[in-house]
Amino acid sequence: MASDAAAEMAARFTAVVGEVEREVGRVMVGQRDVVRQVLTTILAGGHVLLEGVPGLGKTVMVKTFGQALDLKFSRIQFTPDLMPADIVGTNVIAEEPSGARRFEFQPGPIFANLVLADEINRATPKTQSAMLEAMQEKQVTVGTVTRALPKPFFVLATQNPIEMEGTYPLPEAQLDRFFFKVLVCFPKVEELSEIVRRTTTGFESEVTRVATGEDILGLARLARDVPIAGPVTDYAVRLLTATHPKDSPSRKVNQFVRYGASPRGLQALVLAAKIRALLGGRFNVAFEDLREVAYPALRHRFFLNFEGEAEGLSTDDVIADILESVPTGAH
């Protein structure tokens, strides 16, 4: 029976995600929401921007994901002198045994399944833009040759929100390519104790590979088939359009927002809501799913104006106002 098969697939989905979370949890202390959001991004086939102060375990978490998912992992430390070729690779002259010389492409660290772009805002815009094609098209072009990146391909970028000196804020086009922007919060007191115990003793944890890249691609396809009712889609549309000033039902948007979110925001909202529904044991998307994923999916996609910046508002404050002022509009 079709419904039984669906229940089985959903159970498999939940089980795999549970196992990955458990494996990551062997290394990471706390940050469950962050782990869930990163995993959601991976299952949606998107990229995530992790924002948090140094030392919160961002890099460790990404490395652990690479281990648990049996994916090729690479790390790029972004610095002001990093060049695009350092990321995508370059053609080098290679000498054959016969003595002939030819150009040979030397792939950069971008050619991996899971790429950690550490402190991405430290690189120059020129270098940052080298990531654009890779993130959106999942391919890179060097010279005249375009090369596909391995599947699955995920970029997990980090940036430090405090230390702004010598940084280059990501352009809007670059930000829009991140599926989620996840805020990594400071650990709780009890979590800090556990972190100390794990890192200052002989504690060693073995991370087991619980899923392959193929598994991840299969789960991503499954998540896209979760049904969503028209009224729920309409609500997602209203949430997105509410980020645009002038006609927004949100007072804060009309007053403090310079520019609203792009349609990629809507795609992220719906896809993330579908994954959340499956993880919640449901076969349908609920309004609550959309409300829950609205923060990571939209917070980096619209921009405050000068007045909003001066008021010290964050985009999360505006999203909260949007969620309050946009009705679900059920019949």
3-class secondary-structure state, position 114: strand
* Per-residue CA distances from 20 to 11, 67, 174 (Å): 14, 10, 28
Q: Which is nearer to another protein, 126 or 221 (CB)?
A: 221
**The one-letter amino acid at 46:** G
* Residue 282 near another protein by CB under 8 A: yes
CB of 198 to another protein, least distance (A): 37
CB of 249 to another protein, least distance (A): 5
CB of 224 to another protein, least distance (A): 8
Q: Which is nearer to another protein, 210 or 226 (CB)?
A: 226
Neighbour-count burial for 209-238, b at 16+ CB within 10 Å, e otherwise? ebbebebbebbbebbeebebeeebbebbeb
Q: Which is nearer to another protein, 56 or 286 (CB)?
A: 286
**Within positions 199 to 258, which residues make up the interface with another protein, using CB under 8 A?**
221-222, 225-234, 237-238, 249
Question: What DSSP assignment string belongs to 290-325?
Answer: HHHHHHHHHTTTSEE-HHHHHTT--HHHHHHHHHHH
**Site map 3..22 versus another protein, x via CB under 8 A:** xxxxx-xx------------
**The one-letter amino acid at 253:** V
* Residue 283 near another protein by CB under 8 A: yes
Strands 73-77 and 114-118, how do they pair?
parallel
DSSP state for residue 145 in the 8-state scheme: E
**Within positions 65 to 124, which residues make up the interface with another protein, using CB under 8 A?**
none
Q: Which is nearer to another protein, 174 or 243 (CB)?
A: 243
Q: Which is nearer to another protein, 109 or 218 (CB)?
A: 218
Strands 114-118 and 154-159, how do they pair?
parallel
* Residue 285 near another protein by CB under 8 A: yes
- The candidate with the shortest Cα–Cα distance to 73, out of 224, 167, 207, 219, is 207
* Residue 288 near another protein by CB under 8 A: yes
Binding site for another protein (CB under 8 A): 1-7, 9-10, 221-222, 225-234, 237-238, 249, 282-288, 325-331
